[in-house]
Amino acid sequence: MNLIQAIRTIPDYPKKGIMFRDITTLLGDAEAFRHAVDAMVDPFRNAGITKVAGIEARGFILGGAIAHQLKAGFVPLRKRGKLPGETYTVEYALEYGVDAMEMHRDALIEGERTMMIDDLIATGGTALAAVDLLRRAGAEVVAASFVIDLPDLGGAKKLEQEAKVPVSTLVTFSGH
């Protein structure tokens, strides 16, 4: 199956010059959604993963399905102020400012083999912050998986080189 055909591109969103890769069309196509989840699971089926961590919001959709197939628990990585319990917080730089991501302090047990999930990796800033957050909680981050890689922005390479996390992606798009 050609997943690229299931992904909608929206020009000039959220700002002029950006080609936004929208996976909601992939999620709405039962065959494409199943194929994407299976393809994200297959390389890690026997990796002993006990937790899947999904980055808000599309990482929740993919991560929940992947956790189910791996018979693993799911850990939501959320924007600041969205979780009710005691949290770990990490701040990270955006193009114009700073954002923060949180997870519950009791979401992981020290040493749990964890896989991180999101829909897309671009510059890698959010993914690096997520790995930092998971490691603060004691996770062994064994893999990161994304539907889309924008290799021209270098995020997957940065995650592999700086954080030493193997990265798996399903499709690539050139440019932004």
The residues annotated as belonging to the active site are 58, 95
CB 54 within 8 A of CB 117: yes
> Of 121, 133, 113, 134, nearest to 160 (Cα)?
121
- Residue 118 phi, psi dihedral angles, 5° rounding: -155, 170
- Residue 66 phi, psi dihedral angles, 5° rounding: -70, -45
